[in-house]
Amino acid sequence: MTINILHLYPKEMNLYGDHGNILALKRRCEWRGIKTKIIHHEPGDDIPDDIDIIFGGGGQDSGQSKIEKDLQKIAPQLKDYVEHGTPALVICGLYQLFGNYFETSEGQRIEGSHILDIKTIGGPTRLIGNITINTPEFGEVVGYENHSGLTHLGEDIQSFGTVISGSGNNGEDMTEGVKYKNCIGTYLHGPILPKNPRVTDFLILKALENKTGKTQKLQPLNDRIEQRAHKVATTRPR
């Protein structure tokens, strides 16, 4: 069995070590004897019809502008995947563009894919530093945020977690990210997955269950190093 992982715009949207999330997915699959195939999507490429996990990272405003038209073109396919329960992780820039729109601090509006009911407005200052959140499904999750966008959630959409330390979506309402079906949108770089193996395993497990149509149980791994990295991250000042 092979898990097909779609990596959206790896050239333009790969700031702050986000590629490490792909490596975490790949390694935790391989350690369990599960094969993976990484499919890079750049503007103009087609979206395959056998995607098991979707991943997209962060990028500068200029990078978001470059992918805007292509993302709108493939948005119906991505939305169909998400609505049918395909696990996805989108971070920072692509988290914003999975929403309705991102309006930069200069007033430029970059249209989103309307997959998540969120909107983002560029703020006057950047929200930077280590961040710890509490999530209903994964407990404590740690990462590093670096964004000027202030994201606000629609009325009927659930946040990924509640901020314990840091700024989160907008520095005001204590929310961080979005959890919609099996799609996670977040500002947590770091990269997030190596320090939070429960999130990584959630993506893998849901991919396997969708592929087989059966309830699955992942082989346990020795997460001593990952747990140590997680603990160290919680002690770092902002």
**Cβ–Cβ under 8 Å, residues 99 and 160:** no
Which entry of 92, 147, 183, 230 is annotated as an active-site residue? 92
- The β-bridge partners of 96 are none
- The β-bridge partners of 91 are 186
Q: Before 194, cis peptide (omega within 30)?
A: no
Structure tokens at 42: 């750049």
| 189: annotated active-site residue | yes
For residues 234 and 216, give the distance between their C-alpha atoms in angstroms, rounded to a whole number: 31
CA dist 176 → 164, 219, 229 (Å): 10, 30, 21
| 147: annotated active-site residue | no
CA dist 67 → 8, 184, 206 (Å): 10, 20, 28
Query: Looking at this protein, which amino acid is placed at residue 13?
Result: M
State whether the Cα torsion 148-149-153-159 is positive or negative. Answer: negative
Which entry of 7, 41, 147, 189 is annotated as an active-site residue? 189
**Cβ–Cβ under 8 Å, residues 164 and 140:** yes
Q: How many helices (H) and strands (E) does the chain have?
A: 6, 12
Query: Looking at this protein, which amino acid is placed at residue 106?
Result: E
Residues carrying an active site annotation? 92, 189
